[in-house]
Amino acid sequence: MYRDHNCGELNITNVGKKVQLAGWIQRIRNLGSMEFIDLRDQFGITQIVVADEKLKEIMESAPEESVISVTGECVERSNKNDKIPTGEIEVNAEKIEILGKCKSTLPFEINSEKADIENVREDLRLQYRYLDLRNKRIHDSILLRSNIIKTIRNEMDKLGFPEIQTPIMANSSPEGARDYLVPSRLHPGEFYALPQAPQQFKQLLMVSGFDKYFQIAPCFRDEDPRADRAPCEFYQMDFEMAFATQEDVFKVIEKVIPKVFAENSTGWDISKAPFVRIPYKEAMEKYGIDKPDLRNPLIIKDGTGMFKNTEFNAFKDKTIKYIVVPKGGDKGRKFFDQMNDFAVEELGAKGLAWAKVNENNELEGGISKFLNDDMKIEMGAKPGDSIFFIADEFAKAQKLAGQVRIELGKRYELIEKNTYKFCWIVDFPMYEYNEDEEKIDFNHNPFSMPQGGLEALETQDPLDIVAYQYDLVCNGYEMASGAVRNHDPKTMVKAFEIAGYKEEDVKNRFGALYTAFQYGTPPHAGAAPGLDRMVMLLADTDNIREVIAFPKNKKARDVMMNSPCEVTKEQLKDVHIKIDKPKE
């Protein structure tokens, strides 16, 4: 009724045929005797020529971004446009119908030559997200997401993974963030929780005798928004396998993920399997972070021993980390001052010391007077190199050095371009010390199997226990997280006991798992690559909201749908809730 072709498929073979198109008016060029319209839909743009006076009158009431249907003859263009697939033809309009009129003034330009979407206030874009999604770059990111999901499903199907859905209305579980709670109308005072991950359900599927499973799973976490994670909800490619080890999980990811990236990237290089494996401890020592960007060639080294008897007060009794930047000494004093300002103002460091090696192989600038040739040789600094130093207590020095390494990579333009570099971070610590609460907490996933099993839990210092936990990292982003699961009830109880949970707590909070494990449970393992981050990387953007159709803003609000919002007293009464708002 509205079209027999889309706006991206007509070509020279269609010349002489009567066609009907429908789409949005992207641009109107009025040359007096005739008008040229760029008609756009999801598939492309076709030029429409309007010469009839009555049709021109119709077009006067249809501003840009109005939706129209056009019938006319496809003809060869005299001035061809080789930048678009339909550039050899145009359509001489014989009939125009306005299907959806647009307001004459848009909140912001969308696809015109004046469009500068990057400089439009993000909340305005999100308020009119349906207009924002008409922008080709944003629109293509959502279609890319669809294609990525299709590739994932195809590859997981080839590997024999059935797709099984797990519940959204679930129980509260300590996954590392706050739960979103849903009050029950039928059970006063009781709550469902939206799942932070399908963790318990997928383990129960393995207990149920399913050999493996996967799903594109929605996950819900009430945590502060971050640039690389959407607030409120996100999606992951969740999978689990029975009778599986860490190696089996790696094999699945190393088959599926490179295929997903190869089919949906723009020709960038992709790490070949098997991916590099880096123990957590080594990652923290060399990169100062557990999600290192391997495109950055800089390595952090420890210089604590070199400065044991230093006269430089800022380094006394401190952990010293340093980074040598090859050929980094060609920068002026201003550059080094700016790096110090970044470390102090952005990272909260006490300072960022530096020195450089001149062409005569002599140390100069910064703290060079506290260094000597033996130190220079030990650090491996050569003529033309610069050296940056961080001094603090151990954990903070590691973290600060990691952030400095990232910034140096950017400012020296050392980050390798057009490549996806994957690595596994393995051997995560099972526990960490929570200084605020002065107790031991799970470091990563509470359902992981400790290396050494029950014996390790009973005989080792908890902070020395290493788990069968692993992360897949790509270009500085955590791409997936997974573990070999703790499937033994005694080991499970002991693991939670160390983190402050009594056996009764385990029974109450994880009753289904605890009980199920009494009835014969196979060893099992799995992982969950993050879908949103995968799309973000393949779309080559650092803003995760660009690859989600209807995202929340930085304050976890949906400014288009006005969510969250207040509800009526009757709705609250139905679920037995009274509001106790803090006083302003």
Report pLDDT digits (tens) over 173-205. Answer: 755 688 999 999 999 999 999 999 999 999 999
Cβ pair 402, 328 in contact under 8 A: no
Cβ pair 65, 38 in contact under 8 A: no
Q: If you average pLDDT over residues 496-510, what whole number do you get?
A: 91
Give the CATH number, domain containing residue 243: 3.30.930.10
Whole-number pLDDT of residue 175: 56
Same domain, yes or no, for 251 and 359?
no
Same domain, yes or no, for 450 and 551?
yes
Please state the pTM of the whole predicted model: 0.92
Is 195 inside a domain boundary? Answer: yes
Whole-number pLDDT of residue 130: 96
Residues 522-548 pLDDT 10s: 999 999 999 999 999 999 998 999 999
Residues 12-51 pLDDT 10s: 999 999 999 999 999 999 998 899 999 999 999 999 999 9
Number of DSSP helices (H) and strands (E) in the chain, helices first: 16, 23
The number of folded domains in the chain is: 3
Tokens at residue 322, please? 């340093």
Q: If you average pLDDT over residues 82-88, what whole number do you get?
A: 95
Same domain, yes or no, for 90 and 46?
yes
The position carrying tokens 């400095």 is 404
Same domain, yes or no, for 255 and 333?
no
Same domain, yes or no, for 452 and 385?
no
First to last CA, the chain: 57
Q: Which domain holds residue 24?
A: 12-100
| Ramachandran category for residue 206: left, alpha or beta (phi over 0 → left; psi -120 to 50 → alpha) | alpha
Same domain, yes or no, for 461 and 523?
yes
Closest by alpha carbon to 152, among 236, 229, 233?
Answer: 236
Is 509 inside a domain boundary? Answer: yes
Mean of per-residue pLDDT scores for the chain: 94
Angle at 432 between CA 426 and CA 438, to 5 degrees: 175
Same domain, yes or no, for 263 and 378?
no
